[in-house]
């Protein structure tokens, strides 16, 4: 058994019921995982209406496999599990007719760039889905992948007539 400890990220979908987060964390603790962080934003829902949760933990590879199996045995819906692939994060806002231009397709096409993953979405449509809306997208990207992900977002936005509000690129130190 290897004693090398690695950082892992597990992306989950949880039902919105009391005690669900605690029930999910128990298999991690019971199997020797060391929690590093938990991102749980109850106000946002996945397309299936569940709460997205991202858990960062440390464990040996063998323990991590046991943890993932224990989570599945407990009925936890695992979206992704593995060594931390992403090292950069960026938040982008899209505005326009997001619903009419198929927000799901927009998100899928961003994911297809291969360098980033949409880790969180928050949609605001104060005047209804037929009018202009805004979405805040939190992206996690591989090292050096933020610009490629932003290029993909801009391309989709141009095609669909959406506006992109993205952070300015920082200068080299």
Q: Where are the domains of the chain?
A: 6-83, 88-165
Cβ atoms of 111 and 117 closer than 8 Å? yes
Cβ atoms of 90 and 146 closer than 8 Å? yes
Average pLDDT, the chain: 84
Cα separation, 89 vs 95, in Å, equals 20
Cα separation, 150 vs 90, in Å, equals 9
Q: Which of 5-9, 92-96, 116-120 has the lowest mean pLDDT?
A: 116-120
Q: Which of 55-59, 117-121, 160-164 has the lowest mean pLDDT?
A: 117-121
88-165 CATH choice from 3.30.70.2690, 1.10.630.10, 3.40.50.300, 3.10.20.70: 3.30.70.2690
Residue 164: per-residue pLDDT: 95
CATH topology of domain 6-83: Alpha-Beta Plaits (3.30.70)
pTM of the entire structure?
0.52
Q: For residue 173, what pLDDT band results from cuts at 50, 70 and 90?
A: very low
Q: For residue 171, what pLDDT band results from cuts at 50, 70 and 90?
A: very low
Q: Which of 18-22, 90-94, 113-117, 132-136 has the lowest mean pLDDT?
A: 113-117
* Helix intervals (H) in 31-165: 61-73, 103-111, 146-160
Q: For residue 86, what pLDDT band results from cuts at 50, 70 and 90?
A: low
142 burial via Cβ count (<10 Å: 0-12, 13-18, 19+): middle
| Torsion of the alpha carbons at 90, 93, 97 and 99, rounded to the nearest 10 | 50
């Amino acid at each position: 058994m290897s004693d090398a400890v690695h950082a892992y990220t597990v992306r989950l979908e949880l039902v919105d019921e009391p005690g669900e987060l605690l029930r999910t964390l128990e298999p991690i603790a019971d199997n020797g995982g060391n929690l590093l962080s938990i991102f749980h934003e109850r106000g946002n829902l996945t397309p299936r209406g569940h709460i997205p949760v991202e858990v960062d933990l440390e464990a040996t590879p063998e323990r991590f496999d046991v943890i993932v199996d224990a989570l599945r045995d407990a009925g936890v819906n695992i979206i992704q599990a593995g060594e931390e692939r992403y090292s950069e994060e960026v938040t982008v806002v899209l505005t326009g007719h997001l619903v009419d231009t198929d927000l799901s397709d927009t998100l899928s096409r961003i994911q297809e760039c291969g360098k980033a993953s949409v880790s969180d979405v928050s949609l605001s449509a104060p005047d209804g889905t037929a009018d202009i809306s805004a979405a805040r997208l939190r992206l996690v990207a591989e090292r050096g992948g933020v610009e490629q992900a932003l290029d993909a977002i801009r391309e989709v936005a141009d095609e669909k007539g959406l506006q992109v509000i993205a952070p300015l690129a920082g200068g080299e130190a």
